[in-house]
Every structure is written in structure tokens, then in C-alpha cells.
Structure 1
Amino acid sequence: MNESSEKLVEKFLNFHSGHSQNTIKYYKSGLKAFMKYFDESKTWENITIEDAINFYNGYNQTEDGRIVNKNTKIKRLNDVNRFYGWAIEHQFLFKNPVKTFVKTLKFEKKERLNLSEKQVATVLAKVMNYDYYVYTLFLLKTGVRISEFQNILYVDVDLEDHSIYIRGGKGGKDRYVFIDNELLGHLKKYDAYRENLNLKTNCFFVTELGKKLTNYAIDKFREYLKEVTNDKIPFDVTPHVFRHTFGTLACEDDMNLIVLSKIMGHSNLNTTSGYVHSNKESRKKEYLRVMNNKK
């Protein structure tokens, strides 16, 4: 798409600059994917519903070769639909050619993937890199989102109080997460290890070179997890799987749902309740507990 179309997107992003950096990044990536799919003859003014349909059917791979699933395509088109709504409201554009098509699209509901306690032990045993081990344990023990993890500042970690302040989580909300005794011991060692690095950031978690964890660094972490666990775990182990694991295991241990919701940064308790018996194994375990103990 042409330069004027790009400038209108910049106006849209600037208008929403009060949102979190992650939200802005999300909006930008969705619109960028849509724009790059078309040549410069296409503008926001002459996009048609047929173009939206062609994008949905043809956008199957990212520029770096990753497969695009159905839900990602729908999210991208939702970004475009949001953009058109804003542009029409502010009289930059006068019609939304994607709106009616987007309404027909339904997300595929997938069962949440999480690790069992036995699988958690397996994963931790396979992660031999020290930095990655600490990252993995932290994510499993706190349930934070990977973007939140990247942005934890040194001053936000209070080892004496067993607490960590999470700034600007999803929806721009701040909250606390907590540190159990096992994690505390590792964080104290990591803190001492960190002090010996040539630090170039005030973030708590850093690379081996003392730098902030960029998205590239997180991608390398993801690749490492996949490499060391692919013969042991029947699905891709990712940072988000660690978050689901935290929520699921906390429910299995009967953590109060309201407390868990606040720890995980959910805006709706229904989201948290989805972790109760969220997979086949936990449902089977609960079924057998009840049915095998009937009098």
C-alpha cells in the first residue's frame, strides 16, 4: 500500500499512544501485515471486501517463514476493522469494506496447553543453560506474561518481601506477583550473578551480556525450549505454556480464584475460572476422584 496509507496508520497509532507499548505494537503488527500483503496500487480508500477475503485465504505465512493460523488471520482483520472504525469516526475515511466479512469469522477454540507437575520437572531437568533455567522457573512460579517478564525493573523486585511489582500489564494495569521459597533461593543467586555482569540496563532479568531482554533474545529462549524438550513433551513448550501451567496447577492446588485472578492480571474472573479442570488429565482426575469414592 502507498505512503499516504502508511501516514494514516501513523496517525492512528499516535492517537492510541496512551495505550501500553504492547498494545501499540500489536495494532502496528496487524496493520503492517495487511498493508504488506497488497501492492502500492491499493489504498485504504480502494480496499474492497474481496481484498479482505483474499487476505484471509492467502495470508498463510509471515515474512520470516512462520505459518499463520486461522486465529491469527482473524486477529489481523480485527485490527484492520478497528482501524477503519477509528478512521471513519474521525472522517479520514467514509466506508469500512471489511466490517461485514469480519463479523462472519469465528475463532477456533483450542484446549489450553499446560504442563503436568511431572512434565514441569522434566522441563526443568532439561534446561541446562543457567539464565534460561532461572527464566523458566520464574515464569512457572509467577505466571507473568513474557512481555511483563522482559520489563521487570530491578527496583520492582523485593526479595525481602517476597514480592514483585508488575508495571503496565495487559490493559495498562499494575499488580503484584509473589515469590515462593524455591524461587527466592534462585533469585538471590541470580541477583549475585547479575552483579558480576557488565550491566547496561536497569531491568532485573538480563542477557549474558548484561543487556535488556529484547524480542530477539526471547525468540532465542523459545528456540532453546523447543530444542531441549521436543523429544520429551508432546507439544511446543513456550513461555505462554508456562503461564497456563501456573494457572492450572494453582487451581488444582485450590488457590482462591479471586486471588489467582489478581495475580495473573485477569480483568474478568471468568478468564481465571477457565483454568479449573482446563485439560483432559485434570478433568479425568476430578472425575475419578468423585466416581471412585462413591459410597
Structure 2
Amino acid sequence: MKRRTILRNNPDNVRIHSDKSEHLPQTFDEAVSSLLADNKYRNLSPHTNRYYKEHLRIFKRIYTELYNQPPPLALNRAHISAFIDYRINTSSNEKNGVETSLRALKRYCTFIQSKGWAQDNPFNNFVMPKVKAPIIETFSDTQILKMLNACDTDTFVGYRDYVLILFMLDTGVRLRELCDISLSDINLEDNYVKVFGKNQTYRNIPIAATLKTALRKYIDVRGESPSDALFISQNDTALRPRSVQNRLERYGRAAGIDNVRVSPHTFRHTFAKMYVQNGGNIFVLQDILGHSTLEMVRVYVRMYSSDIRRDHAKHSPLNRL
């Protein structure tokens, strides 16, 4: 049986030259290529580059439709406003999605100005459109237990999926991070897993005793494999993100879950919710989740902290009447 080993995506430095010898782009496409090359040079992840490439492609398509020509190298405020108007009023896109595209555009404009290819940056003093607060879906304890019970732990695939669910609930890792974890990243002696994050840095996430026990058994059942990936298929290939999503959706259907999207990110939100409800330190939670700021952690705290509810119950004017 042919097997292959998963390789971590480590982008190579793609340019070694000084700014003096750098080619001056003449078109929007050439400037985008320079931005993507610069991202690789700065060792940003391939996922980040795909994000910029995709959203700048969306801008180019809409600009071409609006102006009947490709966008120029240097953009102005009118171009940005027309793009926003088209996305919201013509295409009826959610403002959250528009903001995601605008972040890529802002990075592009900042980049070409820093290179001296544009005199002005249309995003200077630009106010991003307000977006709706994110809707955070989480699982209930009952739903989690139903999904775990749906796993046939008498089979390799079933037990692997059982441990995979436990792993997501105990660590809150992202889908890509989960698929990138190798066997060598698991440290059962010191009770942590090393995770390669989206900012191209490693972080060590503690694991609970329950997960440690399950991982020890799973690693024994998993046995020897030419793949170093922690979670593998029956054919010794690393589980891919789409496969993980499909497996989770299957367990969601088996558990009769129809009011919550069964996805890896819902498990991540559920981990954060339970961590906050159990009184976890928000700075530790930020490190575990791999967030660069506390912004998202504050959302979890506002939604789920029992301290807020206790404080409200204690100081509510209505309760004191």
C-alpha cells in the first residue's frame, strides 16, 4: 500500500535582493505579485497569502465590472467607496465579508505606498464600515455527549474520531492546526501539545488528564505509520481539513443536532465558552487560542462569564427594590 508523509508548509524565502534593484510594477497585478512575494519573504503562512490573493482578485473583478478596465496600480478613495457600495447594495454581501476584503485592500495600499509606488494611501483616516457582532454558536453538554456516543469506539476510525472530538474540546485548536499536528508534537510526559499557529509560531497547549489517557490509547491503536501526522486515515495518510469537517457533520446528524453548525470552529467556540464559565484566566485563554489580541477573548467573557452574571445579580437595581 502506497503511503505518504505529511509535510508542514514552510514557505521558502523567494527573494533576496535590495529595494534598489526591485522591479517597479506597472500594473495592479504586478503589484499584487510583489505583495505576495513580500509576504513569503516575511515568512507569512501560505494561508495568509491565499487570503490576500483571493480578496484582491475579488476587488479586481468588481473594479473591472464597474469601470470596464482593470484597476490601476495606485487606488484612491473613490475606488474603495465604489467597491463597498457594490458589495453591499448591488451584491447584498454581509458587511462582515466586505470588511474582510477591505483588510486585504488596506494591506495592499499600505504596501505600495511604503515602496514609493503610490503617493497617497486611500485608507488613511478611513473608517471601516461597522459590522454586526459575531454570532457565536456553541454546543451544549448534551450535544457533545451525543456526538461522542455516536462514535463506534470498537473500530479504529470510530475511536480516532472520538479522540479527535475530545482533542478539539480540550485544546480549542483551529482546523488547520489540528491537521498539522504531528505525533512528535504530543508530549504526554509533560502534558502538552505543541501547535503550529497561523502566525507561524509554535505554542504549547496543556492537555487534561482525560485527553492524555485517550491519546495514549489512540497512539497505541494507531501503531506505526510512515506518516508523522497524529490523526491519520486507515490508509496512513494525514486527515485533511475537508475530511475532518465531513466526519463531524456525520456525527452531528447522528446526534440530531440541527440548531448549531457542527464544525471545527464551533468546537473552538465551545472550548472558549467552557473555559470562561469555569473561571479560566483570560490571558491564559488568549495564549491557548493563539490570538494576538484580547479582542475575541473579551467577546467570550462578555457572553459567558459567570462573574458578570453574579455581579449583575448582586448589584441589579431591580433586585434591590
Query: TM class by shorter-chain length?
Result: 0.7 to 0.9
Post-superposition shift, 1:171? 3.0
3-state secondary structure, aligned to 1:16: helix
CA distance in 2, matches of 1:145, 1:208: 23
1:54 equivalent in structure 2: 86
**One-letter identity of the residue aligned with 2:131:** F
3-state secondary structure, aligned to 1:275: helix
Aligned-pair Cα RMSD in Å: 3.5
Aligned pair 1:107/2:107, yes or no? no
3-state secondary structure, aligned to 1:112: coil
Post-superposition shift, 1:273? 4.1
1:189 equivalent in structure 2: 217
3-state secondary structure, aligned to 2:170: helix
Match of 2:169 among 137, 140, 162: 140
> Cα deviation per residue 1:37-66 (whole Å; 9 max; x = unaligned)?
455832234862324421344456xxxxxx
Does the Cα contact within 8 Å between 2:277 and 2:306 map onto a contact in 1?
no
Aligned pair 1:239/2:271, yes or no? no
1:123-272 maps to which residues of 2 (within 5 A)?
123-128=147-152, 130=158, 131-167=160-196, 169-195=197-223, 199=226, 201-221=227-247, 223-224=249-250, 227-229=253-255, 231-269=256-294, 271-272=296-297
Amino-acid identity (%): 24
For residues 246 and 172 of structure 1, do their structure 2 counterparts lie closer, same or farther at Cα, with a shift above 3 Å needed?
Answer: same
Instruction: Give aligned pairs, total.
Output: 279
CA distance in 1, matches of 2:302, 2:84: 38
**One-letter identity of the residue aligned with 1:176:** N
1:116 equivalent in structure 2: 140
> Cα deviation per residue 1:232-267 (whole Å; 9 max; x = unaligned)?
352212211111111211222222333333222233
* Larger relative contact order, structure 1 or 2 (CA cutoff 8 Å, min sep 6): 2
Post-superposition shift, 1:141? 0.9
Give the stretch that moved more between structures: 102-111 or 126-135: 126-135
Give the stretch that moved more between structures: 138-147 or 176-185: 176-185
Does the Cα contact within 8 Å between 1:78 and 1:102 map onto a contact in 2?
no
For residues 263 and 279 of structure 1, do their structure 2 counterparts lie closer, same or farther at Cα, with a shift above 3 Å needed?
Answer: closer
2:52 equivalent in structure 1: 27
- Superposition TM-score, scaled by structure 2 size: 0.72
1:71-110 maps to which residues of 2 (within 5 A)?
71-94=96-119, 99=123, 103-110=127-134
For residues 279 and 57 of structure 1, do their structure 2 counterparts lie closer, same or farther at Cα, with a shift above 3 Å needed?
Answer: farther
Give the stretch that moved more between structures: 235-244 or 253-262: 253-262
> Cα deviation per residue 1:177-210 (whole Å; 9 max; x = unaligned)?
122222122212322333355x4x3222223332
Does the Cα contact within 8 Å between 1:151 and 1:203 map onto a contact in 2?
yes
Gaps of 5+ in 2: 1-25
Gaps of 5+ in 1: 61-67
Match of 1:6 among 2, 26, 29: 29
2:7 equivalent in structure 1: none
3-state secondary structure, aligned to 1:164: strand
CA distance in 2, matches of 1:241, 1:235: 8
Does the Cα contact within 8 Å between 1:56 and 1:74 map onto a contact in 2?
no
- Superposition TM-score, scaled by structure 1 size: 0.77
